[in-house]
Structures are given as C-alpha cells and as structure tokens.
Homo-oligomer: A and B are copies of this chain.
C-alpha cells in the first residue's frame, strides 16, 4: 500500500483495497500463520469517545497478530485530555506506538492528527464524517460471501440520511461495474442528493422502495441499518411505519436463496431474532470478517512506506472552515487547507464547502 495513513477509504486505490481484501481472506483461512506477524509491535487505540465494539475489534486484530496494545477508551478522566492539544498527545503517543488507531467526535481530527504523527494513523471514526474500516469490513464480507463486488443488486434499508457507513459503502461500490441500488426507507430518511449524484456519475442504476416486502425478492444483498424512533416525523408515523422496515422470517421467505443480509451492528429490533438462524443472515459473520479486515489492514500499515504520497491538489488559506464540528475550530494551530470541488473551496479535513 502506498498510503501512509488510512483516513478516508476513498484515498485508497482499488489495487490497494483488493490487496487488503485478499490478505484478509488468507488470514481467515490460515490464522495460525499470522500468530506472530506483528511480534514486538505496539498499537495505540486512542478512543476519545467510547466504542467498545470497534475498539475490541481492533485490539483483537492486533493481539491475534502477536502485537501489543496500549491506549484509552474514554479520556474523561485521562490526564492525556486535560487541556492538552491533539498535537501534543499524538506527538507523545507516536513516540510509544508503531501504529495509532484513533476515534474522536471531532470531524477531520484523524487527518489533523496525521500531520503530527511519527506513526501511521488509522481513522476509527471522526464524528459523523468518516469510518473507513466499517466500509472495509462490508467489502471484505461481500467479496467472500458473494464472490464478487460487481453486478450486484443491493438493497439498503433504514436510515440512509444519517448513516456515514452506508454513504461510504455506496460510494465505493458505485465504482464497481454493474451494481444496482434499491433504497428502502421513508422519504425523510432517504439518501442525500450528493450520493445520488455520485451514482449517476458512475452510471449506476438505482431505485426507491417504501417497504422491504415489495423490494426483497430482487436483492442479492440486503444491508440493514438502525432507524432511530426520533428520526421519524412523529410518534404516529413511527408506529405506522416501523413494521415495513423490520426484517422477519416472513419477509425472508420472499427473498432469493443466495441473499446475503448484512448489518453493521449493534441492531435494536430492525431484524427479528428468528432471522438469526437463517443461513442467509451474515451479520455475525460480518463482525468476524471485520476482525480479519483489521488484521490485514494492520499488517499492511506497518509495512507501508513512510514517505509522503502525492495528495490531491489543495492549498493553505487564511479563511476558516465554518463547520463548528471541524477540527480546525477546536485545534487552532492546525493549518487551514482546502481543495476545489464543483467550483467551491472544500475543507480538506471535514469535507464541508466553504461558503463564499
């Protein structure tokens, strides 16, 4: 892999991505070969907001490679967080660890951290902005459960508006040929226009459905996500509609025999427990693929060349990003950087357009 860090999956070439997917499969087939692959290496997991599931997946991945793990899972009582800048923490921890996995509620914080780190940075979630290893997990699962990333009819059900991992998955799959998307949701929770534009640019077919029942028969893949009750316009609407977006055994009977059902977990009640024993339900396997995906990523990052990689053209600017959740507003020493998109300056950290 050429990239020094994994901030955004979009920074990774298709070749790099497939190399990691293949390595993940090799590890899954022969885990014993990799038992000491990272012997003597240290990974830091810096979780500025708790996410036991993601942190446990990364930690297990490193431990299964024979490496060691340091870090914190909640900086509320950590001296590391007491009035200390992100830069100082990263400078110190990158002197301890060979690889830093970071989760932080501030958008763009992983990219900002990479400016100051002596060790590669993996973005394990920067607020609502990016979460590339979830998408990597989804791709590894599809590759091994469907045998391909092309020519698939993919249903997406639930909250498409607020789901960063669904956006990232759709963007990545839109670059593979022959994929069709069916968005199954309420009008309020539909895919944002910029994603639909990407689908059009890449020549992907897509359609909308207002119930699982009407859409499920055509699908090769069904990607379920949580719909939070508070996302509905009213409690009445929630009560009226929730059933049509819940996957149960009856709806599974309408589906293809080789359907693959995915869910990023944790689920609440959008998939009934009865579906779990259906061999087409792959969401628990998906979590396990996530561990293998992270093992492959860690090996790749620790071998990556340490020199700079050509970046997309961007410039420093005196102007400030106006997104209040952007790292340039919480860490004032970070240089303001922008790139051009559709004639607009866009913040390099949080990808928000700079209003004129």
Contact = CB atoms under 8 A, between A and B. Distances in A.
A266 B85 CA distance: 9
A272 B253 CA distance: 65
Given A35-B40, A40-B35, A74 B77 contact: yes
| In the A-B complex, the 3 residue pairs with the closest CB atoms | A95-B288, A52-B78, A63-B68
A72 B88 contact: no
A291 B95 contact: yes
B50 A266 contact: no
A124 to B, nearest CB: 12
Contact of A70 (B56, B87, B276, B288): B56
A207 interface: no
Interface in A7-65: 32, 35, 39-40, 42, 44, 50-54, 56-57, 59-60, 63-64
Given A50-B77, A52-B80, A83-B266, A95 B333 contact: no
* Copies of this chain, tallied across the complex: 3
Given A35-B39, A50-B79, A77-B50, A91 B284 contact: yes
A177 interface: no
A96 interface: yes
Interface residues of A, number: 53
Interface of A: 32, 35, 39-40, 42, 44, 50-54, 56-57, 59-60, 63-64, 66, 68, 70-72, 74-75, 77-85, 87-88, 91-93, 95-97, 265-268, 273, 276, 284-285, 287-288, 291, 333
Taking each of A32, A42, A79, A82, which has the highest tally of chain B beta carbons within 10 Å of its own beta carbon?
A: A79
Given A70-B59, A87-B273, A287 B78 contact: no
A96 B56 contact: yes
12 contacts: A32-B40, A35-B39, A50-B77, A52-B80, A53-B80, A56-B72, A74-B77, A87-B273, A91-B284, A95-B287, A95-B288, A96-B288
Contacts of A68: 63-64
B288 A82 contact: no
Taking each of A39, A60, A71, A333, which has the highest tally of chain B beta carbons within 10 Å of its own beta carbon?
A: A60
Contacts of A75: 52
Contacts of A88: 265-267, 284
A165 to B, nearest CB: 14
A249 to B, nearest CB: 13
Nearest to A72: B52
Contacts of A79: 50-54, 266
Contacts of A284: 88, 91-92, 95
